[in-house]
Amino acid sequence: MSVTTRRLQDLTVHDHTLEVPLVWADPDDGRTIDVHAAVVAREGGEDLPYLVFLQGGPGHEAPRPFHAPAAPSWLDAALEHHRVVLLDQRGTGLSTPVGDADLERGTEALAEHITHLRADSIVRDAEAVRQELGAGTWSVLGQSFGGFTALSYLSTDASSLEHVYLTGGLSAVGRHPDDVYALTYAKLRDASERYYRRFPEHRDAVRRLVDLAAEGALVLPDGEVVSPSRLRSIGHLLGSNDGWQTLWALLELPPHSNAFRYDLAAAMPYDARNPLYFVFHESSYADGHATRWSAERSEPEDFRADPTLLTGEHVRREWLDTVPGLQPWRDVTLALADHEWPRVYDEQALLASGAHGAAAVYVNDLYVPFEYSMQTAALLPGVTPWITSEHEHNGLRAGDVLSRLIDIAHGRAVR
C-alpha cells in the first residue's frame, strides 16, 4: 500500500492506494486493480475508531473531503466519533476507473471486467483496506447502493463491523428486479400526482414537452435529440428533498431557450462522466438474476398511456442510440443486461449477523421502496429503523440524519 498525507486546515487526510485482485474468487486469475481510500481525521481525532463510507451509485466515487464546515455535509457529524474512510469503489475515482478508453479492450473483455465490480467485490476491497489499516473492526455508513453493499458485507464478514448505519440502503433481498421496479413505478406515480396537485399547470407543460420530444425538437447542447422517455426521467428530481424546486424552475423556462436546454441536460440522470452508473445500474437490484431491461419490462400500462407520469432511474435501451455519451457503450451494456448475476445477500447470514446500528428508512423513497426495506430490516433485529417522511432519498446530504442514527444506535435518542 502506498500512503501520502495532506492537511486541509483542521483535517488530516491520508490517501491510501492498495493493489488488489480483480477477481477475488480466483487467486490464479492474476489481474489486479488499484483501490483508493482517503482516511480523514480531525485534529485531535487521530486515534478514533474507523468509519468506512460506502457511496451510492453504482458507479460513483466517494466524495472528496474539505475542511470545516466539512464537505460532504455529514462529515462533521462523522468526525465527532470516527476517523472516516472514504473508499472509491472499484472502477470509480482513483480506484482504476472504468471509462471510454477501456472500450478499446473490446465488448466481451470489458463486459467481463465489469462483472467483477459489484458489491461482493467491493466488500473484499474494504476488508483488504481494513486489514492494511490494522483495524480489528470498523463501522460502516452505507448510502443507497452503499447500503446494498453493506448488506453484502453483513452476509459474508459481519464480524468486521462494529456498527452499521444505513441511509436509504435497505435493499430488497432475494427479490427479482422486476418486483423492485414495479414498486418504484408506483412511487413515481404518487410523486408525479403530488407534484401536479401543487402545480397543476405543469402537467400541460410536461405534455407539451413530450410532444416536442416526439417531434425531435428538443436538442441538447451536446447534440442529443431528447426522446420522450429520456425527458420523462426528470422525475428522478422528485426523489430528493429539494429536487421539486429544480423541476419547477425547469418547467417554467421556454423550451427552446439556452437556459432550458442546459438545465434539462443537467437535470436528467445518467451521463458520460460516470458510464458505469448507466451501464450496469440494474445489476444493483439483481440478487441472483439477469436483468434484461427490467425497468422497461416492468413499466405499467398507465405509464405507457399517460406521458405526464414521470420516471426516475428507469434505464432505457433506446438511450444507447440517442444519448451521445452512452452510444459507445451500447454493446457492453447489452451484454451485461443478459449476464446472470450471482446472489449478493444471504438471508440466514443476515439474521445471524448480530449487526448493531440504525437505518434511516424514507417512507416516500423513490429508489429503494419502503415496503421491501422493512422486510429487509426484519432480517437485522439489532439495526434499529428510523422511519421518517421528513427526508427523501438524499436525507444524508440534506439534514442531520447521521447524528440521529448514531444517537439511536447508542441509545441516546428515540425514533
Q: What is the pLDDT of residues 58-117, one digit of tens each?
A: 999 999 987 656 578 899 999 999 999 999 999 999 999 999 999 999 999 999 999 999
Residues 195 and 72 in one domain: no
**Residue at 224: amino acid letter:** E
Domain enclosing residue 199, as ranges: 177-337
Q: Is residue 414 part of a domain?
A: no
CA-to-CA separations, 294 to 58, 149, 229, 284, 364, in angstroms, rounded: 17, 21, 15, 12, 22
pLDDT for residue 63: 94
Residues 253 and 293 in one domain: yes
Give pTM, 2 decimals.
Answer: 0.96
**Number of separate domains in the chain:** 2
Q: How far apart are CA 306 and CA 309, in angstroms?
A: 6
CA-to-CA separations, 132 to 11, 16, 90, 163, 300, in angstroms, rounded: 21, 9, 17, 20, 49
pLDDT above 90 for 228: yes
pLDDT above 60 for 27: yes
pLDDT above 60 for 415: no
Q: How far apart are CA 369 and CA 297, in angstroms?
A: 18
pLDDT for residue 9: 85
Cross-strand partners of 83: 50
Q: Is residue 302 part of a domain?
A: yes
User: Which range (87-96, 253-262, 273-282, 392-401) has the least confidence?
Assistant: 392-401
Q: Which residue has the cell 426523489?
A: 239
Residues 107 and 69 in one domain: yes
Instruction: Give the CATH number, domain containing residue 71.
Output: 3.40.50.1820
* Residue range 229-242: mean pLDDT, rounded: 97
pLDDT for residue 398: 81
**Residue at 12: amino acid letter:** T
Residues 333 and 352 in one domain: no
pLDDT for residue 413: 64
Q: Which residue has the cell 466488500?
A: 123
Q: How far apart are CA 226 and CA 316, in angstroms?
A: 13
Residues 290 and 367 in one domain: no
Residues 144 and 119 in one domain: yes
Q: Which of 337, 356, 390 is the last residue of a domain?
A: 337
Residues 126 and 209 in one domain: no
